[in-house]
Amino acid sequence: MRARPGLSSRLARWLYSLAIYLLSPLIWWRVWREWAPTHPRLERLGLIRASGDRPRLWLHAASVGEVVTATSLIRALLDDHPDHDLVVTTMTATGAERVRQTFGDRVSHHFLPLDFPGSARRFIARLNPRLAIITETELWPNLLATCRRRNVPVVVANGRLSAGAFRLYQRFGALSRGMLETISWIGAKSPVDAERFISLGAPAARVAVTGALKFDLDVDDATRQASRRLRASWGGRPVWIAGSTHPGEDEQVLAAHAALRRHIPDALLILVPRHPQRFDEVYARCLDAGEQVLRLSAKPTLTDATTLLLGDTMGDLMRLYGCADVAFVGGSLTPIGGHNLLEPAALGVAVVSGPHLDNLREIADTLAQSDARIEVGDGRSLGEILVALLGDDERRHALGEAGRAVVAANRGALARTREQVAALLNDS
């Protein structure tokens, strides 16, 4: 006899909860490091302050990348719903810091609780949101089930499912179906993402293709002006940036810079590692490579002898992209999956990446098809393309303007998401 879908989903969630209880020592050890002095670790068990009298909206952005993507949406929510308090949750401490730097006290922040049933119940009961918005696709079964029991509508904004994530969700079909049936609306980044959500059990009527929220990137005038001031202080030397680099990429970036400087001796590299815990390690690597390196955190005054500026601060990547003539976006020379190509593109900076772009394949292909991105395979080819671009103003400017045009032409996900949030709030 075939089990009823509802029963199967409940059983799957019970087994899932049992598994995370058994794994709780390992899980707790992993999140113990993701901590900020302003937040008690017991937030991970749903022990947050109870909500006040004002209604609340809740948005979850797992880490720095998701916070950056959601920035335009967060600003829109603050503008659209001034009578609501906005609470942003993250999983990582770096994400929390990015929220603080970007929004200050305009939003509240908590760490997302671990997905134990009791933690989920406490968190939702104390937060008491009118609506929940999950950016990207970090879906937690017990949190979603609690939202359903308490009649909290859930929106997935900028929803995506990579091929790997899709296969993983398929392996746990009943659990996936149970989660997706609870979601009120999914704004998928692409038709492929939409098809995957529906295949896993999301009702087709609740899934819409909105495009990528990243295209609605908001570069404010203050950031642009800060970039211009900083760049002007360095004189007229050529500048390129390697943003969000990972282990295995730094060496290739440094090799490319050495090759570039053999052709253009006064070229300056801005190197920005993805994770702050690597700042000291990468600084030492730069010194070992013979670079004359200064650290941004020291607020240095660059001289003609400076060959490399290490971006070892949080929240400054957009400002540093705006200082560059060419931007290499990391996480792409090693199989990480790539990082946000649209940040430099929105600024009109020529974009270069490696081939490993599984996390943003549609965006990468859109840029490439519009002659707005150049792909390289290793540090040697990166050095060659830097020499070519920094020696050819016309080609470099055309690449940058094509990127800017792609960003402008693909905006729209933000407007559709705002409309859906407003509709659900009106219905609730």
CA distances from 24 to 6, 20, 48, 93 (A): 27, 6, 20, 20
CB neighbour list of residue 225: distance below 8 Å, 6 or more residues apart: none
How far is the C-alpha of 286 from the C-alpha of 294, rounded, in Å? 10
How many CB atoms lie under 10 A from the CB of residue 132? 24
| Residue 270, H or E segment | strand 268-273
CB 212: neighbour CB atoms within 10 A? 24
Residue 44, CA distances (Å) to 29, 40, 115, 207 in order: 12, 8, 9, 31
Instruction: Please indicate whether residue 66 is annotated as part of the active site.
Output: yes
d(CA 193, CA 61): 19
- Per residue in 298-319, is it b (16+ CB within 10 Å) or e — as a string? eeeebeeebbbbbbbbeebbbb
Catalytic residue among 34, 43, 66, 97: 66
Query: What is the spatial distance between Cα 175 and Cα 172, in angstroms, rounded to a whole number?
Result: 6
Residue at token pair 């004189």: 235
Q: What is the DSSP secondary-structure string of 316-369? A: -HHHHHTT-SEEEESSSSSTT----THHHHHTT-EEEE-S--GGGHHHHHHHHH
77 by DSSP, 3-state: which? Answer: helix
Q: Identify the residue whose tokens are 């994530």.
A: 165
For 185, the enclosing helix (H) or strand (E) is: strand 185-188
Tell me how far apart the alpha carbons of residues 202 and 353 are, in angstroms, rounded to a whole number. 34
Residue numbers annotated as active site: 66
